[in-house]
Chains A and B, each alone.
Chain A
Amino acid sequence: MTSFHVDDVRIDLAIIRVVGRLNMVAAPELRDVVAQAVKSGKSHLVVDLAGVEFMDSSGLGALIGALKTTRQAGGDLRIAAPGEQVAMVLQLSNVDRILKPYEDAAFRD
């Protein structure tokens, strides 16, 4: 069972901590969590992947969808702390070119 925990950081920024697998079971839940967060004004999101033990193309799709959702709201999305398997999938799929890491000064202002 994959869990999602949303930490508010500032009025327009939240961190979503995902724990478990990010596959076709959990991907729709991530989309819902992101949609709710953006709807509540959190146009800037960080998805903390430290607790994600596994991700496949369904998870990739949900993250890209989340990126689009934040950008449509005038914000953006970053990812943080991917594990070895998650990093492998990001790299092989070239999605690491568009899902940028949280280590970004502009995002921390």
Chain B
Amino acid sequence: MRPSGIEYTAVIRTPPDTVDDAHDFLKSVWVERSDVGPEDRMALETVLSELVTNVIQSNPHSQVQCEVTLSIGPDLLQLETSDTGKQLDQLPPASAEMPADVSEHGRGLALIQLMVDSLTYRHDGAQNVWQISRSRRNAVATPGRPVTI
């Protein structure tokens, strides 16, 4: 990732770590960065949770290390996860669709794509690397205002 802002990093080793550790990481960032608005926080929390959940579920029988890097720039948010899990069998679709209403799985990637400006995946020979970017929305949320993503 070519950072355009200040970087924050965390390393998740699962097991014993869980997706809760990814949430706790972002919570600790927000304490320092009150300038990141609620819409952006919700989006990043949701995206990171989906990414880390996917890493854990894709590697049920092995310990995986997942390094998370969040870059907060004046206009751009970038999030990268780099994990030691098995390589994806196939590249994720450029535009994932929501599954049928009654499906209990398969919404994670589609949800991510609705909240980011770009999502890329690559395997660098040793690790799976997911990168997202999102333009910052700095407006302060007003009660009752519809969420626009």
Interface, chain A (partner B; CB < 8 A): 21, 23-25, 54, 56-58, 60-62, 64-65, 68, 84-85, 87-89, 91-95, 97-98
Contact = CB atoms under 8 A, between A and B. Distances in A.
Contacts of B46: 54, 56, 85, 88-89
A87 B147 contact: yes
Given A64-B104, A91-B147, 18 more contacts: A23-B19, A24-B19, A24-B57, A25-B20, A54-B46, A54-B49, A56-B49, A56-B53, A56-B111, A57-B111, A58-B53, A61-B104, A65-B104, A85-B45, A93-B107, A94-B98, A94-B101, A98-B102
A98 B107 CA distance: 15
A10 B6 CA distance: 54
Nearest to A56: B49
Contacts of B42: 84-85, 88
30 contacts: A21-B23, A23-B20, A23-B23, A23-B53, A24-B18, A24-B19, A24-B53, A24-B57, A25-B18, A54-B23, A54-B45, A56-B49, A56-B53, A56-B111, A57-B53, A57-B106, A57-B111, A60-B107, A61-B105, A62-B104, A64-B103, A85-B42, A87-B147, A89-B46, A92-B149, A93-B110, A93-B111, A95-B101, A97-B101, A98-B101
A88 B149 contact: yes
Interface centre among B56, B102, B104, B108 (most CB of A within 10 A): B104
B77 interface: no
Contacts of A64: 101-104
Interface in B11-63: 18-20, 23, 38, 42, 45-46, 49-50, 53, 56-57
Contacts, number: 75
B115 interface: yes
A97 B100 CA distance: 12
Closest 6 pairs (CB-CB, A-B): A61-B104, A57-B107, A56-B49, A57-B108, A85-B42, A24-B53
A21 B107 contact: no
Interface centre among B98, B107, B108 (most CB of A within 10 A): B107
Interface residues on chain B, size class: 20 to 34
Contact of A56 (B38, B50, B98): B50
Contacts of B103: 61, 64
A88 B41 CA distance: 12
A60 B102 CA distance: 10
Contacts of B126: none
